A and B are shown apart, each in its own frame.
Chain A
């Protein structure tokens, strides 16, 4: 079975442009997380989707960041008007049922804002 996939693997953009990052979770997993990881740093929680519940957006750093999850599967993280400080690896993870379950991470998208 396929694991969590993310696309693109690398994204280079210019300051001020919008970007969309995609996450395909493991089939059947109802919980999905987005994290941001700057070089040499820990995992910064961004947003959490659990089934049909309203997402936990408490980690989004600004209103330039948004995410959606369509049909309970694929998720897209959108960053509007990108800034250089947005440069980081964006990781997606999914878990089977509850938020407390084991998380399976995708390979990440490395975003570079010039």
Chain B
């Protein structure tokens, strides 16, 4: 079945440093979605990318969808303590397929 892996599993940064998480799927995805889960909370949708090579930005967050539509990345510039949480990517193999979530990357930011 479809597998979606993320690296790293965990990263601890100092506030102000940059952070990147990578998402790799075993199958081609029709779209890639990113979610953020704050400690004690539930996953919340951040963004969706659909096109090969697509790049989208949300303030300090930059999302990229790979050319082959099998990988994606999330880059945070100048992290803040509000960025703490676990970031999940998720993608369906097809529009009629269920979403498969990645393994997640937990980000810890300290002052």
Contacts and interface: CB of A to CB of B under 8 A. Distances in A.
B82 interface: no
Contacts of A100: 30-31, 92, 94-99
B42 A48 contact: no
A35 B90 CA distance: 14
Contacts of A40: 106
B98 A56 contact: yes
A65 B71 CA distance: 33
Contacts of B99: 33, 95, 99-100, 103
Interface residues of A, number: 24
Interface string B36-76: 00000111110010000000000000000000000000000
Interface stretch (A14-22, A72-80, A104-112): A104-112
B88 A43 contact: yes
B95 A105 contact: no
B94 A43 contact: no
B92 A45 contact: no
A70 to B, nearest CB: 20
